[in-house]
Amino acid sequence: MTSETEKRNKMSQFQKDVISFLRLQYGKALAEADATEIYHSVSAAAMCQARKNWGRLEEGKKVCYFSAEFLVGRLVSGNLVNLGLADQTEELLRENGVDASVLEEIEDDALGNGGLGRLAACFLDSAATHGIAMNGYGIRYRYGLFRQSFENGFQKETADRWLRFGDPWSVRREDERVRVDFKGQSVWAVPYDYPVIGYGGRTVNTMRLWQAEPMEEFRFDLFNEQKYDKAYEERNRAEAISAVLYPNDDTDAGKRLRLKQQYFFSSASLRDLVKKYEGKYGGDFSHFSEEYAIQLNDTHPVVSIPELLRIFMEEKGMSFRQAFPIIRQTFAYTNHTVMAEALEKWSVKLFRSVIPQVYRYVMMLQRSLLKALEQKGITGQAQAPYLIMDGSLVHMARMAVYGSHAVNGVAQIHTEILKKSVLKEWYQLTPEKFQNKTNGITQRKWLLQCNPALSRFITERIGSGWITHLDQLKKMERFQNDPETLRRFGEIKRRNKQVLADYIEKVEGVTVSPDFLFDVQAKRLHEYKRQLLNAFSILDIYYGLKEGRIAGFTPTLFLFGAKAAPGYFRAKGIIKYISEIAKLIDGDPAVRGRMQVLFLTNYGVSYAEKLMPAAEISEQISTAGTEASGTSNMKFMLNGAVTLGTYDGANIEIVEQAGEDNNYIFGARIEEIEKIRESYDPVKLYQSNPRLRRAVDSLVDGTFSDGGTGMFRELYDALLKGASWHQPDHYFLLKDFDSYQETRLRANREYQNPELFYRKCYLNMANAGKFSSDRTIRQYYEEIWSNR
């Protein structure tokens, strides 16, 4: 008895709370509990710690980050690290005979999709870490994007039930629910608050996610009349709004649902802010933009601009002249795409069928814009590039630029393209609005948490200051010529490769060798990201090895991680094509020990936490001028991988920081592409290059089977004939094929000199300081939010 008492006395309060929660909730000791029970008890105990500082930043301006997605990943691990409880948790588990990795069994990768949502999560972490009052606002999706599996090489989608283990990190605020109205439907928006814990736990902000619920959940009268489906109809219609991120929108029904989602969280969030503001200032809204800064993360929440105008005028009695300057001073807009076709537009008919009450205020904004243009001497046809309502379309990006005081791109080249091309006329009209804010990632998540061995290695040499000030990594440069340092760095990379290999065997049932070079492309599946170019290159290497044309090749594992949108036929065709190449290589004994291709299943944050530390080559091969920024490139760099990529997005800045000699850059640059685009003849290029022709022809010559779906024929035609609005080889895969292959093989050869290659990897890690989201958030705060 005494020993048990002594043991308990030595425990921290957090550890005691874990034991108490287990006994109270489950009647179990720690050694008897399963993974879910431990997860809930650890989370509940940590929440007790987080509540001490939750929401204390009440004074001063509050930043509100409106985003359709937040990809926060596994909540328990990140929160324990930031609260300083990770070591205590591991100690408690170990002393009770429980494997410390037990929490990894809980797949609670929360919400979101990819880069946009992960960026938002990084920003929230950075703001809380640096004491900035910034809260996130979005939707509490019942299901994640989707859970990906493969059947005969085809992507299959099922519901991603991320809530199946429960949700111990949220607090439902029933008393703060808000009514949101659509044409023919009204729903409750019920907020769930999640703590956003800064490193050290001193600042805890809030991520408020809204869940759609019916005004009346169950019609007993209809049920009693035996109309069972009708009895639940209102509940089902409401729950559809917050069911899934980015529902398939290839029909009007899908488009209406997406617009409903956008209005739902925008309206609920604005009503929440207005209510809180009135509690402090009463009915005088002249200080609203001093109290709140609202950052619109892409066009999804841009409907907030006419909605706030509607609230101010319709419900608070303000005139347009009073309301609009306040609105403009409140909102700022982040653009995330350089492709004009990706800028969101809604048909007027559809817009009016969903939120007709807002349409009136869109027209007011249009009239105000026309008047402003006329005052600048812009009349007639010259007004066309500015129109918010252009014919039968509502242009959300144009409304965002007009209704905000700041517009920013997310990498230097991206911002310049916005100024020179995508939003050229707007830049000429209001150049003072346009800024650049190069994206960043949080080093707490993407180094400290996911790569503990490298983190300890860095801290041993330069101290722990890098955890909150990543620019201190530059101090690691002084050890670049120290053989022992490079040897240790290489050993860490080798161990991380083994960790990934073990994880792949567990998850995929596939054995991979950590002795292979790990060449990784992990990002959303899209034609412009050119996973198909990577596949053509791999197939050409296969033929080159078989024929003896390629000699001295380093055995390589080519890893892909990506999800294709369910309705994106060509993207799903690329997945199937890569799986066919993987099957060909795996079935050929002549190359089986020299190359391997694997498409990872259900790639997400938890997989990325294993993948980033193990990668040695980071594939960033988008067509120059198409990727706004990228953040996977930064995660790979921070964990000591070289970039094999084009001069695109943040790759340019990565090369500026780490040196082009320490990376592998290939392909046409944007200036060349702009020059040749009209005269480009991909068919001629295809016909004149036998190796390229053989790779492309494999789509249709019977080398591979697409199961009779026509997927491969469509990919082939898109390259040589064009597809929908695309020109032939719209993303210049054929143009860049030779340059890519030459550069890739050079990297492969140089890998055989470990001192040379790992020094490049090391210098990338040491020069990743610029790419912290801490830096990005400070720039937002100082240059956009705090000066209004």
pLDDT in tens, 495-518: 999 999 999 999 999 999 999 999
Q: How far apart are CA 38 and CA 207, in angstroms?
A: 24
Selected catalytic residue, list 336, 437, 526, 530: 336
pLDDT above 90 (res 342): no
- Compute the distance between CA of residue 351 and CA of residue 341 in angstroms, rounded to an integer: 19
CA 345 to chain CA centroid, Å, is 22
Length of the chain: 788
pLDDT, position 341: 73
- Determine how many CB atoms are found less than 10 A away from the CB of residue 35: 16
Given this model, what pLDDT does residue 108 score? 63
Catalytic residue among 118, 398, 529, 730: 529
Give the tokens for residue 326.
């306040």
The mean per-residue pLDDT over the stretch 605-609 comes to 90
Given a cut of 90, whether residue 143 has pLDDT beyond it is: no
Catalytic residue among 523, 730, 744, 775: 523
103-107, 282-286, 404-408, 762-766: range with lowest mean pLDDT: 103-107
The number of C-alpha atoms within 13 Å of 762 and in the hemisphere containing its C-beta is: 26
With a cut of 90, say whether residue 324 has pLDDT above it. Answer: yes
Give tens-digit pLDDT for 539-553.
999 999 999 999 999
CB 332 within 8 A of CB 406: yes
Q: Tell me which of 184-198, 657-671, 719-733 is least confident.
A: 719-733
Give percent of the chain above pLDDT 90.
Answer: 86
Query: Within 13 Å of residue 659, how many CA atoms lie on the same side as its CB?
Result: 12
Options 524, 570, 610, 775, the catalytic residue: 524
pLDDT digits (tens, 9 = 90+) for 417-453: 999 999 999 999 999 999 999 999 999 999 999 999 9
Q: 3-state class of 511 per DSSP? A: coil
Q: By the 8 A CB rule, do 269 and 330 touch? A: no
Higher pLDDT, 654 or 342: 654
Tokens of 259: 């617009």
How would DSSP label each residue in 387-412? Answer: -SEETTEEEHHHHHHHT-S-EEESSH
Of all helices (H) and strands (E), which one includes residue 188? strand 185-197
Q: Bridge-partner residues for 435, per DSSP?
A: 408
Which one from 147, 610, 635, 760 is the annotated catalytic residue? 635
Q: Is 445 a catalytic residue?
A: no
* Res 446: pLDDT: 96
State residue 228's pLDDT score: 64
- Contact assessment for residue 551 and residue 509, using Cβ atoms and an 8 Å cutoff: no
pLDDT band at 1 (very low <50, low <70, confident <90, very high): very low
Active site residue 23: no
- Beta-bridge partners for 422: none
Active site residue 554: no
Please answer whether residues 433 and 406 qualify as being in contact, where contact means their C-beta atoms are separated by less than 8 angstroms: yes
User: In the predicted model, is pLDDT for residue 620 greater than 60?
Assistant: yes
Residue pointed to by tokens 């929160």: 79
Strand, coil or helix: 139 = strand
DSSP 659: -
Q: Which pair of structure tokens corresponds to residue 776?
A: 């990005």
Query: pLDDT value at position 234?
Result: 87
CA distance 248 to 719: 25
Q: Are strands 147-151 and 134-139 parallel, antiparallel or unpaired?
A: unpaired
pLDDT band, very low/low/confident/very high, at 343 (cuts 50, 70, 90)? confident
Q: Judge whether 492 and 455 are in contact, CB under 8 Å.
A: no
Once rounded to an integer, what is the mean pLDDT over residues 98-109?
80
Q: How many CA atoms lie within 13 A of 380 on its CB side?
A: 1
pLDDT for residue 8? 67
| pLDDT per position as a tens digit, 734-778 | 999 999 999 999 999 999 999 999 999 999 999 999 999 999 999
Query: Cα(531)–Cα(197) distance, rounded to whole angstroms?
Result: 36
Name 4's Cβ contacts closer than 8 Å, sequence gap at least 6: none
Q: Are strands 204-214 and 642-645 parallel, antiparallel or unpaired?
A: unpaired
Q: What pLDDT score does 110 carry? A: 61
Q: How far apart are CA 222 and CA 580, in angstroms?
A: 53
pLDDT value, residue 724? 76
Structural domains of the chain, ranges and CATH numbers in brackets: 109-439 (3.40.50.2000), 443-771 (3.40.50.2000)
Cα angle 112, 116, 118; round to 5: 65
Range scoring the smallest mean pLDDT among 11-15, 70-74, 761-765:
70-74
Name the active-site residue from 330, 337, 442, 631: 631
Give the residues across from 158 on adjacent strands: 147
**Separation of alpha carbons 123 and 129, rounded Å:** 10
Full-model pTM: 0.95
Q: Average pLDDT, whole number, for the chain?
A: 94
Is 424 among the residues known to form the active site?
A: no
Look at residue 219 and tell me whether its pLDDT is greater than 50: yes
* Pair of tokens at residue 467: 């955890």
- Decide: 54 and 206 in contact? Cβ < 8 Å: yes
Q: Which two tokens stand for residue 180?
A: 């949101």
- Judge whether residue 296 has pLDDT over 70: yes
Average pLDDT over residues 452-480: 98
576 is catalytic: no
